[in-house]
Amino acid sequence: MSLDSVTLAVLKGRFEQIADEMDATLFRSAFNPIIAEAHDASHGIYDAETGETLVQGKSGLPIFVGVMAFGVKAVIDKAAGNVSEGDCWIFNDPYDGGTHLSDFRLVKPVMRDGKVFCWLASVGHWHDVGGNVPGNYNPAATECFQEGMLIPPVKLFDRGEYKQDVVDILSANSRLPLSLYGDLNGQINALDLGFQRMESILAEYGDDVIHEALMALKARAATLMCAEISDLPDGTVSAEDWLDNDGIKDEPLKIALDLTIDGDRMVMDFSRSSPACAGPVNISRSTTIAACYVALKHVFNDVPANAGVLEPVEFRIDPDSLLSATAPKPVGGYTETILRMIDVVFQAVAQLAPEQAMACAYGTINALSLAGHRANGQRWVMFSFFGGGHGAHGAGDGLNHGNAPISTATIPPLEILEAAYPVRFTQWALRPDSGGDGEYRGGLGAVYEIELLEQEARVALFGERGRYAPQGVVGGDEGAKNHFAFEQDHGWEEPPMSSKMVGIQITKGQRVRLETPGGGGYGQAKQRSKAAIEADRQKGYIS
């Protein structure tokens, strides 16, 4: 059988619509603003035997989709062929197809004639899953047990029977069980909808046609990726960047990439990166590969988003590296490390193909947690992430105040945060002079100042780029560094480790202040036009 191009295009759109509908279902039903407003979740369709990504939703986080292939494979291995209609697994194991403990995954088979035809998967960032720090970004963790509960792949549904005991265990380990209940049921409903849509398209076209279409889309992605790699010059280039510290020991950690192009093949060698560390900036091997997938999709954005993208790519990762962590090494701050990985990919590509290069974005999600009790004793936890400037590129200036390039998520609106929690934003603004100079200017970071309205709260920050600024490319200058401060009775203080701190106590009327990094610049600053400089000055982007 050979599908004509029109039918394949129609089916591609139908598959993507299924994943998009699953995304929308969860976004509209989740209780947690990080999912409902920020869209920190994702859905996709995965291969029956290998777990490889076949289709992903356009609104979900790409990093989740890349890692989820390993998560689905973990379920395949756990099930060992014992799969029935109505089964569904749940887990958050960060070392076996996960990212960190906040991200819970549900995996459900689509069965045909007693065999798995494909898998559907949902992942979402739950508001709180236990651990020492509300919201689970614990910069002082030295093992995963201090970050939250770890759940291996277990059945949430067994032949359609709902396992209430599993949910009871999950709820008992969360500070916010109602939020957990809403997010879990949103994910269940998203998978149910995806299952119905897959059953419908299989009935309409038949199993053979749908299978051939899925395999054809994967093969085309591999072909296109080979062509993109072939357009790059052969040879090896190297790039290095640094994490401020691991939150435990105040020493920088190196992320190093040696990128080799050989015809239509690419080798990504991270062997020179720092070894596994005591603090929570380690990541698993599967997360490392997924981060490369996201970075390559930024560079080659016309390539379809499925497992075929990685077929011509070889990975070399030292098993003792912080990029290949195993239990119980802490991994809660995985976002910071994968952002630095994306940065070194951008820096390496700039040496091979300057016209395709992008400067480094702001490079940290600045995971900020404020938590306490209301006057009636009810617990509240405000966890959110914050934006910054994106890197400039050969076609223009970087985006001001965007979200991190690991995702398509949005920054939660201040109106939502103020309505949900006892806080007031006294400032939410662009940060002047934060974008790196260049022929094209890096995007501006932001200034966030938050005042506490309740009597007291605990504050924790997990950030980066406090010591090492976002780099420019092709001669562009670096962006401004990250800066965090918090108010105390005697005045303002800053974290000793610059970007990470736990155990901060503030009282009513006191504030915390984040000044986020700008993006790096592209090209020599002397090449920037006088008109562009004057426009920046008039808008207040530069002083």
Beta-bridge mates of residue 227: none
What span, in angstroms and rounded, lies between the C-alpha atoms of 418 and 84? Answer: 45
Task: Note whether residue 422 is domain-resident.
Answer: yes
Task: Note whether residue 526 is domain-resident.
Answer: yes
pLDDT for 405 equals 80
Phi/psi at 511 (5° precision): -125, 160
Radius of gyration of the chain (CA): 23
Nearest to residue 456, comparing CAs of 374, 377, 356? Answer: 374
Categorize the per-residue pLDDT at 410 as very low, low, confident or very high, splitting at 50, 70 and 90: confident
Q: What pLDDT, in 10s, does the model give residues 174-203? A: 999 999 999 999 999 999 999 999 999 999
Q: What pLDDT, in 10s, does the model give residues 428-473? A: 999 999 999 999 999 999 999 999 999 999 999 999 999 999 999 9
Task: Note whether residue 379 is domain-resident.
Answer: yes
Chain-centroid distance of CA 469 in Å reads: 20
Task: Note whether residue 101 is domain-resident.
Answer: yes
Domain end marker among 221, 242, 269: 221
Number of domains in the chain: 2
Task: Note whether residue 333 is domain-resident.
Answer: no
Task: Note whether residue 86 is domain-resident.
Answer: yes
Alpha-helix runs per DSSP H in 374-487: 414-420
Nearest to residue 162, comparing CAs of 106, 118, 203? Answer: 106
Domain end marker among 221, 246, 281: 221
Q: What pLDDT, in 10s, does the model give residues 44-72? A: 999 999 999 999 888 877 777 678 899 99
Query: Which string of DSSP letters, residue by residue, matches 202-219?
Result: HHHH-HHHHHHHHHHHHH
Q: Looking at the structure, do residues 365 and 511 belong to the same domain, yes or no? A: yes
Q: What pLDDT, in 10s, does the model give residues 480-508? A: 999 999 999 999 999 999 999 999 999 99
Q: Which residue has the tokens 């950690």?
A: 253
Alpha-helix runs per DSSP H in 80-176: 164-172
0.85 exceeded by pTM: yes
Q: Looking at the structure, do residues 216 and 70 belong to the same domain, yes or no? A: yes
What span, in angstroms and rounded, lies between the C-alpha atoms of 242 and 508? Answer: 37
Full residue range of the structural domain in which residue 384 is found: 358-543
Report which DSSP code applies to 321.
B
Domain end marker among 173, 203, 221: 221
Beta-bridge mates of residue 461: 368, 501
Q: Residue 408: pLDDT above 70?
A: no
